[in-house]
Chains A and B, each alone.
Chain A
Amino acid sequence: MPEENLVSAYHNYLVEGRLRMGLTVGDPGGEGFFFVAHPVRFGEPMPVVSARLFGRDGGFILEMQRNSLVQNPDGIALLETSGGWALVDGLLQTLFSVEVRAFDNCYMTVIRGTLFDPSGRAVLQGDDEGLHILEE
């Protein structure tokens, strides 16, 4: 049966080529991987992301809460880009990026990059069709 998602008139994320107000993968209260794309209300800055990220080798990289880096042992930088922002390491490689597409009256965020869990498995992968959930 077709899936039913709640969609905002103002801002949404593109997930599997579809609009979604927000997205939660993993346990935001736990010690493992999680990724939260928070719903954005009218007038709020966008997008808003919280995440606990790991490398391909399973090593902890960072934790961010509502766009602020709260644990960042590797010195990952959050750089503003023309359409959003990106998390970049010391070798200028992008962990993931967010791009906000502005339409006449509304906005859509596209997230790109590959995100791994503590066992080194790719959990989320983002491209022009938005985020793809590989493992939950």
Chain B
Amino acid sequence: MKPQGNRGEVWVFGDYRDYLKNRVTLELIAKARELARGLRTRCGAVVLGDDVEPFVMEYIAHGAEVVYVMKAPHLGQFKATLYAKALCRLVELYEPEVLLVGGTDFGREFAPRVAKRLNTGLSADCVALEIDPLEGILVQITPAFDGRLLAEVITPARRPQMATVRPGTFQELPHDHGAAAPVIYVEPVDPDGDDSIELLARERMEDPGQVLEDAAVVVSGGQGMGKAEAFRLLFCLAGLLGGEVGGTRPAVIQGWIPEDRMIGQTGRTIRPKVLITCGTSGALQYTAALGASEFIVAINRDPDAAIFRIADLGVVGDVNEILPRLIRAIEGRRESQEVDLHA
């Protein structure tokens, strides 16, 4: 029998692996609350697993208005096939209107399986989500045609409306110790006896790009850097500022910076306090991934470059002349501060 009264909610799948570093679920909960207001419903989080209690509490503290829990020892490991079965069971029971999944490695494997099972659509790597005020449906804004344009995708008939969103796209809500929310425990699905995937071991891989997403200062370079050697200036500047270095797709294609440091719709989404973007034109597929940056400094020799439209501070000039002067100035200031400290 289907429970009554919970239908039509906006749900977020709880990806709590690598917690506290992985914040994508908290970011999606914040967005889901906003979407839920537009649909006059609740924002729900779904938690599958075994020892899940701290994550349930954390999601409530970050804005979940109801949490659905399926808890069992055989759900203790993130496994796409079994988790898809479990989530689909919950969807069938409670019929959410919207289902959001973090665009992590697991989410990218898991979400399409869920969408296939539910026979609904899925927009991958959305950079924005809105509720159409007239139709009351989710508008999923996602890069298309190799990132050359942003497409608005809707799922008019099938439910739930599904989307994946990469980490760093939205801003999480502050932690609220005083929050409380209902939690619904649902009977777990059986383990898959005929599952073709058997988990033998788990090994953590380093993700160099993750530091870029978490960095407070990012120095980024594009085609306008002109040569691989110029990227050394970016690394030097980032080192002085305690930041990280990223690059645009053209810079990656040129081989000036590794692909795991690519910023853009098909790369990393960043949200530093300060971004210094050098020799970047400001193409849409790049700037769409900078949205949450707090202060943007742009250096480009073309005064009409689109990057200046989103910059808080623009410097017109050749990066290969400006960056060495900037580096010398910072080094000089540091040395004088060190002298002051010793005085």
The reply to whether the CB of B180 lies closer than 8 angstroms to some CB of chain A is yes
Contact across chains for A4 and B53 when beta carbons are under 8 A apart: no
A10 touching B57 in the complex, CB below 8 Å, given contacts A17-B71, A104-B20: yes
B127 contacts partner chain A, Cβ-Cβ < 8 Å: no
In the bound complex, how far is the Cα of B5 from the Cα of A44, in angstroms?
34
A105/B61 contact (C-beta < 8 A), A1-B3, A7-B56, A17-B71 known: yes
CA distance A10 to B181 in the complex (A): 11
A8 touches B182 (CB 8 A): no
> Which residues of B are found within 8 Å of A2, using beta-carbon distances?
3, 184-187
Contacting residues, chain B, for A66 (C-beta < 8 A): none
Residues of chain B within 8 A of A106, CB atoms compared: 54, 57-58, 61, 177
- With contacts A1-B3, A104-B20 taken as known, whether A6 is within 8 angstroms of B57 at the C-beta atoms is no
Knowing A7-B180, A10-B178, A42-B178, the reply to whether A103 touches B185 (Cβ < 8 A) is: no
* B53/A108 in contact, CB under 8 A: yes
A residues near B57, Cβ cutoff 8 Å: 7-10, 12, 19, 103, 105-106, 108
Tell me whether A12 and B177 are in contact (CB under 8 A). Answer: no
- Best-buried of B67, B180, B184 by chain A (most CB within 10 Å): B180
Please name all residues of chain B whose beta carbon is closer than 8 Å to the beta carbon of A18 when the two chains form the complex: 69, 71, 183, 185
Mark out the residues of chain A between 1 and 57 whose CB falls within 8 Å of any chain B CB in the assembled complex: 1-10, 12, 14, 17-19, 21, 41-42
Residue ID in chain B nearest A41 by CB atoms: B178
B183 & A9 in contact (Cβ 8 Å cutoff): no
Complex interface: chain B residues within 8 A of A7 (CB): 56-57, 60, 67, 180-183
Let me know if A5 and B180 touch, CB within 8 A.
no
- Chain B residue numbers with a CB within 8 Å of A103 are 53-54, 57
In angstroms, Cα B237 to Cα A95, docked, is 64
Complex partner residue of B181 from A6, A41, A104, CB under 8 angstroms: A6
Closest to B185 in A: A18
Bound complex: CA of A9 vs CA of B180, how far in Å?
A: 6
| A4 CA / B176 CA spacing, docked (Å) | 21
A42 to B179, CA, bound (A): 10
**C-alpha gap A49/B322 in the complex (Å):** 66
- In the complex, B341 has a CB within 8 A of chain A: no
Contacts of B20 in A (CB 8 A): 104
A contact residues around B56 at 8 Å (CB): 7, 19
Cβ–Cβ < 8 Å partners of B178 in chain A: 9-10, 41-42
A90 to chain B, nearest CB (A): 35
Q: Is the interface of B mostly helix, strand, loop or mixed?
A: mixed
The 8 Å CB contact of B182, one of A5, A14, A42, A104, is: A5
Do B180 and A8 touch across chains, with their CB atoms under 8 A apart? yes
Query: CB-nearest residue of chain B relative to A43?
Result: B177
CA distance A9 to B182 in the complex (A): 11
Complex Cα–Cα for A39 and B20 (A)? 26
Complex CA distance for A18 and B183, rounded to whole angstroms: 9
Our pick among B53, B176, B181, B183 for the contact of A14 (Cβ within 8 Å) is: B53
Residue of B at shortest CB range from A102?
Answer: B54
Q: A2-B184, A2-B186, A7-B183 are in contact. Are A105 and B58 (CB under 8 A)?
A: yes
CB of A62, distance to nearest CB on chain B (Å) = 30
- Give the most central of B61, B69, B176, B177: most A CB within 10 Å: B177
Whether a CB of chain A sits under 8 angstroms from the CB of B175 is yes
Shortest CB-to-CB span from B141 to chain A, Å, is: 31
A66 to B175, CA, bound (A): 28
Rounded to whole angstroms, the CA-CA distance of A2 and B56 in the bound complex is 17
The A-contacting residues of B in range 181-204, CB under 8 angstroms, are: 181-187
CB neighbours (8 Å) of B185 from chain A are: 2-3, 5, 18
Cα–Cα, bound, A106→B176 (Å): 11
Return chain A residues, CB-CB under 8 Å to B176: 9
Give min CB distance, A46 to chain B, whole Å: 12
B205 at the interface (CB under 8 A from A): no
Given known A-B contacts A4-B182, A105-B58, A10 and B71 have beta carbons under 8 A apart:
no
Can you list 18 A-B contacts (CB < 8 A)? A2-B185, A5-B183, A7-B181, A8-B57, A9-B57, A9-B58, A9-B179, A9-B181, A10-B177, A10-B178, A14-B53, A18-B185, A19-B56, A41-B178, A104-B19, A104-B20, A105-B57, A106-B58
New contact pairs (19) apart from A4-B183, A7-B57, A12-B57, CB-CB < 8 Å: A2-B186, A4-B182, A5-B182, A7-B182, A9-B58, A9-B180, A10-B61, A14-B53, A18-B185, A19-B57, A42-B177, A42-B178, A103-B53, A103-B57, A104-B54, A105-B177, A106-B54, A106-B57, A108-B53
